[in-house]
Structure 1
Amino acid sequence: MIAAERRNTIKNQLLKNNSVKVSDLVNQFNVSEETIRRDLNQLEKEGFLEKNYGGAILVNKQTHNPIVLPLQDRHQQFFKEKELIGKKAAELIEEDQTIILDAGTTTWHVTTELAEKGNLTIITNAMNIAEKCTKNEIADIYLLGGKLRRNSLSTVGPQAEAELKKYNANYVFLGTSGISFRQGFTSSDLYEAEMKKAMVSAGHKRVVLADHSKLQKAGLTSFCTFEDIDIFITSDLADKQILDNIAKAGVEVIVVSTDEESWNESE
């Protein structure tokens, strides 16, 4: 079992039991105590657990069980803001490039601006994004295989993660459930977080897209730090002080205007 799979199993046990013991994990995975302690150290850095004598406890279980709305409901939340963010992200893309689009209601909006861009190679784990990209009749579209998550119409799992290792994309566009200075960029699902990590590794430029409601929120687990991301795109509804702090961490912050003129232009 690879480290990522072992840590996901540890996370699931913490969510179920609130605590784990090092000795039990050593026996369960048949690895050394040092290996388990490295796992716990990493999960503590992600803000998922707090180590104690002989093991670890889950950090604030309630915050790690957010209500995830159905895809259609999430799609309608902050629709215009997400539309403007997606349009701005698409401006980064040039002809003949390879891009990876993460599943998400904000990344979906990137596709509306791709129809006229020539010779793109588009890779995604989202069925609805792949379908939308078919409007670009000359783009090569690759839908990653894996286990289907019905609530997001996305594929996850080792098969999809392994496929991503074949690619070296010009841009990776990622969604996020939350952004915090302690955990970085987070996801509300363990398996989607592993997909996002694989996407980060497959891209030359990594871009996170998020509406203003995602700031100062922490999802279930971290998928990357500020150091892993090149560009963050949000709107002027986001807290300026938070955006300044993200910029100080070395991330290029792009802020789209949501004034009436900009909103009308997007319609």
Structure 2
Amino acid sequence: MMVAERRKLIKDLLFKNKSVKVSDLVELLNVSEETIRRDLVQLEKAGIAEKNYGGAILIEDSPYIPVILPVDERKLQYSREKEVIGRAAASLVKEGQIIILDAGSTTWFVGQHLPANGNLTVITNAINIAEECSKDETASIYLLGGKLRRNSMSLVGPQAETELKKYSADFVFLGTSGISLRQGFTSSDLYEAEIKRGMVSAGQKIVVVADHTKLEKAGLTTFCDFEETDIFITSDLTDKKILKEIEDTGVEVIVAPLSGESFN
């Protein structure tokens, strides 16, 4: 791992957990204590962290802390685009099937447009998606356990990962923070990436859904490469050249039409 990648990972852990321990980072990144301490010195100089004896704490009023909108607010961004993507994804599902839905704003729209009275089995780590899917009284809903991440209303951690090993689903629907031709589908959160990987292992067909803003962005870590993905669904606002390159990797690309409409 390059120095810049390592320091970005430490910075993201600081943003998430408010503190880091040298011993934990040594084990996670497989480097020496001296290397980690140098990284923390640089983050301190950048005004992001304050070093202490065993590690560092986040400087809460740092101007570099990213603003991550709650999932209910993210649903409002490009909502029409996400809705048509969600409808296109949901149309793949047939009566009686088992599906896994990842937490996220676009996957919420998938849940909203699932076939009515379809006797579906829905497995999710997202509280808001479980609530949405529960409106269909014929659906069996399984909510994975774990630690709650409030911004995404998702449950993450070893408990959820263990539970996923019990399931085999017809479809897995995943959102993504970014899509890179080099890295595949990526997440900006290490813990959510682990859940996504577990979902990939539990699915027969892997479907990634994303609006056009996610293209040519790379998150912190890859959760699914193109070889593991069966279908990618986006809108016709997405660059056709990039879609062709994704298609060339063997992924089926479905484009939901939105021509002539504007988004904010």
> Scaled by the length of structure 1, what TM-score is found?
0.75
In the alignment, which residue of structure 1 is the partner of 2:222? 222
Give, in angstroms, the shift of residue 114 of structure 1.
Answer: 2.1
Asked if the contact 1:120/1:139 (under 8 Å) is kept, the reply is: yes
Letter paired with 1:258: L
Deviation at residue 223 of structure 1 after TM alignment? 0.6
2:75 maps to a residue whose letter is H
TM-superposed deviation, 1:224: 1.2
Q: CA deviation at 1:183?
A: 1.3
Structural RMSD (CA): 3.1
Structure 1 runs not aligned, ≥5 long:
1-8, 18-23, 38-52
Contact 1:65/1:220 (<8 A) preserved: no
Q: Which residue of 1 aligns with 2:19?
A: none
Structure 1 residue 68 displacement after superposition: 1.9
SS at match of 1:76: coil
For residues 151-230 of structure 1, the aligned pairs below 5 Å read 151-230=151-230
The answer on whether the counterparts of 2:184 and 2:224 sit within 8 Å (CA) in structure 1 is yes
Contact 1:115 1:133 in 2 (8 A): no
* Cα shift readout 1:33-55 (whole Å, capped 9, x = no counterpart): xx959xxxxxxxxxxxxxxx9xx
Distance 1:134 1:225 in 2: 31
Contact 2:237–2:259, Cα closer than 8 Å, also in 1: no
Q: How does 1:2-81 map to 2 (within 5 A)?
A: 12-13=9-10, 29=27, 36=30, 67-81=67-81
Q: How many percent of aligned residue pairs carry the same amino acid?
A: 60
The corresponding residue for 2:139 is: 139
Partner of 2:53: none
Which structure dedicates a bigger proportion of its chain to helix? 1
Q: Following TM superposition, by how much is the alpha carbon of 1:259 offset from its aligned partner in structure 2, in angstroms? A: 3.2
Tell me how far apart the structure 1 counterparts of residues 194 and 24 of structure 2 sit (CA, whole Å): 23
1:108 aligned onto 2:85: no
Letter in 2 for 1:71: V
CA contact (8 A) 1:114 1:136 kept: no
Partner SS, residue 123 of structure 2: strand
Structure 2, unpaired ranges of 5+? 1-5, 15-21, 47-63
CA shift digits 1:115-172 (9 cap, x unpaired): 5142210000000000000111011000000000011100000000100000000000
Deviation at 1:13, TM superposition (A): 4.1
Structure-2 change in CA distance of 1:137 and 1:67 (3 Å)? same
**Whole-Å Cα distance in 1 between the matches of residues 71 and 97 of structure 2?**
29
Deviation at 1:26, TM superposition (A): 11
Assess, with a 3 A threshold, how the Cα gap between structure 1 residues 168 and 238 changes in structure 2: closer, same or farther: same
CA distance, structure 1, for counterparts of residue 103 and residue 192 of structure 2: 9
